[in-house]
Amino acid sequence: MSLISHGPAWAALQAHWSDIDRLRMRDLFDDDPERCARFSLEACGLHVDYSKNLITAETMRLLMALAREADLDSWRNRLLRGDKVNNTEGRAVLHMALRNLGNRRYEEDGEEVMPGIRSVLSRMRAFSDDVRHGRWLGHTGRRISDVVSIGIGGSSLGPKMACEALRPYQRNDLRVHFVSNIDAAHLMQTLDGLDPATTLFVIASKTFTTQETITNAESARAWCLDALHDEAAIARHFVAVSTNRDAVAAFGIDPHNMFEFWDWVGGRYSLWSAIGLPIALAVGMDRFEELLAGAHDMDEHFVEAAPEHNMPIVLALLGIWYNNFGGSDTQAIIPYDQNLQYLPTYLQQVDMESNGKRVTRDGDAVDYATGPVIWGQPGTDAQHSFFQLIHQGTRLIPTDFILPLASHHDLGGHHDKLVANCLAQAQALMRGRTADEARAELEAGDVDAGRIAELVAHRVFPGNRPSNMIVVDRVTPRVLGALIALYEHKVFVQGVVWGVDSFDQWGVELGKQLAGNILADFRRITCSPGVDSSTASLIRRYRMAIDE
Ligand code: G6Q
């Protein structure tokens, strides 16, 4: 077994952390006026300032050596070549092909995948144009006013995040909603106020067997038939996105109304495929293709740029620096953009489902931390809730700030204040406030000496808290595509360094299986053998509640 943690690059980084930990970021800035320029990158409409990290040029050199030792170059080539890098599921990972607007050749088992992709894209264009222009009508001849996408996990989080991010590009006469939770509240509250005659359901499921999605889809069909009283209505009000044609047909959706994708598209990497149909419906196919173009720009950058100038590689290695050498467990994502409100949730799945693994590709247990806990919410709200802990708590929490320079809304003074807050947070995390500075502030405020002595320790901020500032001009479809692809590739690079399969999700599969067993036990007099006493008691309690 050869774990990356047993190699020389790892040992060098471990030793280096104790050198770096002694440095103060504010001194590094004072000593080097070029620090920001030295540690900034520009690509695909994104500017990444990573100068407010606990790094020197030596740190970056050592991190690059780690990537080389992990054979990053060759893994990237395997990904591009269509090798089965998802080894536990025996699948290629080709989501880059879905946004391949250049002339790169992508193959799966020796067969070109681009013709299939182009054909689905053109069907998506025809369909979304028809719906948006009122050529696709409901069963009673009325225009579609609402699209309800039913899907969960990878079949929902990406499109939901992107539709919200691109809300300024949406029309208000065609609303797009997302239902994922099997909790009836989600479906019922979404349908409340919608008109079945003008509602179109997109049932999105790679397998078309996921309990939540199929249950919600069945209830949605009943709701539709209740009002329209005609099975023929299903063909005008239900379309499917799936890899499983037979299950779609068995559900009762005409396979002509199915948009196909393929098993080499992982759920959490699928928004670029037909899973993105709700995005195309919401903002139009031209803009969906701009989203693809932005991601393609980032793919090319990831493939072509030297590691030192390669945004995903740099961000991935910085994450590893804190996760594996700085003892940090989490990573905060703070977009200063209300419409990016679902980005942290979306990235939770991309990152944690991909790299939340405890064994290497060979099945050996790792002896280091893998994927961090990803969390966050938009600023400025975050400042009024958990930022206290990032500033003055005991934990090291690397933070990504995402900052658009321009807003889609020109409302006097708002954006200046938003940007000022974002910059101030990053600056404060970096600089902190020393005891002398805290004392001087209190003295300037005429606080008496005894009170100052009591308060100083509470008003000290250690600073030295790392952050990346990801700046974009404005959140356009193209910029959003590049931003998402940046994180996808970051996660890939980290997975390569940790030696894990970033593309399987056996934990998710376990959840699907266990819920089925318990559901069956609700209908039995006694629980299945082997059920623990806690679960059995909870099952009994639930049985009693439903019998009342
Ligand atoms: C994503 C995961 C998971 C999946 C959902 C929905 O990478 O595999 O989140 O997307 O479980 O699965 P279906 O699309 O098959 O319904």
The catalytic residue positions are 353, 384, 512
Nearest-Å Rg of the Cα atoms of the chain is 26
123 CA → ligand 1 middle, Å: 23
Neighbours of 193 (CB within 10 A): 7
Cross-strand partners of 242: 260
pLDDT for residue 76 is more than 70: yes
155 CA → ligand 1 middle, Å: 6
Q: Confirm or reject: Cβ of 152 under 6 Å from ligand 1.
A: yes
pLDDT for residue 421 is more than 90: yes
- Predicted confidence at residue 2, as pLDDT, reads 86
151 CA → ligand 1 middle, Å: 8
Q: Where are the alpha helices (H) located in 70-113, listed in sequence order?
A: 72-81, 95-98
CB half-sphere exposure, 159, CA atoms < 13 A? 35
Task: Name which of 270, 43, 8, 294 is nearest 157 in CA terms.
Answer: 270
Q: Confirm or reject: Cβ of 86 under 6 Å from ligand 1.
A: no
Residue 421: φ, ψ to 5°: -65, -45
Q: How confident is the model at residue 257 (pLDDT cuts 50, 70, 90)?
A: very high
Nearest CA owner, ligand 1 atom 1: 267
Q: How confident is the model at residue 523 (pLDDT cuts 50, 70, 90)?
A: confident
State which ligand 1 atom lies nearest to the alpha carbon of 512: 11
Distance between CA atoms of residues 387 and 384, nearest Å = 7
The pLDDT of 430-438, averaged and rounded, is 97
Which residues, including other chains, have CB under 8 Å from residue 321's CB and lie 6 or more apart?
13, 53, 54, 55, 59, 63
State which ligand 1 atom lies nearest to the alpha carbon of 212: 16
Q: Tell me which residue has tokens 């001194």.
A: 27
The pLDDT of 21-26, averaged and rounded, is 94
Tens-digit pLDDT profile for residues 209-242: 999 999 999 999 999 999 999 999 999 999 999 9
pLDDT for residue 426 is more than 80: yes
Residue 396: φ, ψ to 5°: -95, 115
Tens-digit pLDDT profile for residues 130-155: 999 999 999 999 999 999 999 999 99
**Pocket mutation for ligand 1, best pick of 93, 95, 150, 155 (most atoms within 8 Å of C-beta):** 155
Task: Name which of 261, 306, 296 is nearest 480 in CA terms.
Answer: 296
376 CA → ligand 1 middle, Å: 22
**Pocket mutation for ligand 1, best pick of 508, 510, 512 (most atoms within 8 Å of C-beta):** 508
Distance between CA atoms of residues 305 and 319, nearest Å = 19
Nearest CA owner, ligand 1 atom 5: 153
Report CA torsion sign: 26, 29, 32, 33.
Answer: negative
- Predicted confidence at residue 514, as pLDDT, reads 80
The pLDDT of 20-24, averaged and rounded, is 93
Mean pLDDT over each residue of the chain, to the nearest integer = 96
Distance between CA atoms of residues 56 and 66, nearest Å = 16
Nearest CA owner, ligand 1 atom 11: 153
Q: Confirm or reject: Cβ of 95 under 6 Å from ligand 1.
A: no
Helix axes 184-191, 211-228, angle to 10 degrees: 30
The pLDDT of 35-59, averaged and rounded, is 98
pLDDT for residue 272 is more than 70: yes
The pLDDT of 156-161, averaged and rounded, is 98
Asked if 509 contacts 516 with a C-beta cutoff of 8 angstroms, the reply is: no
- Predicted confidence at residue 1, as pLDDT, reads 57
492 CA → ligand 1 middle, Å: 18
Q: How confident is the model at residue 517 (pLDDT cuts 50, 70, 90)?
A: confident
- Give one word for 536, left, alpha or beta, with left for phi > 0 and alpha for psi -120 to 50: alpha
Strands 199-204 and 175-179: unpaired
Nearest CA owner, ligand 1 atom 10: 154
Distance between CA atoms of residues 204 and 151, nearest Å = 5
Distance between CA atoms of residues 46 and 482, nearest Å = 8
The shares of helix, strand and coil residues in the chain, as percent rounded to the nearest 5, are 55, 10, 30
Distance between CA atoms of residues 276 and 155, nearest Å = 9
- Predicted confidence at residue 145, as pLDDT, reads 98
241 CA → ligand 1 middle, Å: 12
Tens-digit pLDDT profile for residues 300-351: 999 999 999 999 999 999 999 999 999 999 999 999 999 999 999 999 999 9
Instruction: Pick the range with the lowest mean pLDDT from 359-368, 474-483, 526-535.
Output: 526-535
Q: Residues 170, 174, 178, CA angle at the centre, nearest 5°?
A: 85
pLDDT for residue 364 is more than 70: yes
Neighbours of 366 (CB within 10 A): 16
Cis peptide before 394 (omega within 30 of 0): no
Nearest CA owner, ligand 1 atom 16: 205
Q: How confident is the model at residue 508 (pLDDT cuts 50, 70, 90)?
A: confident
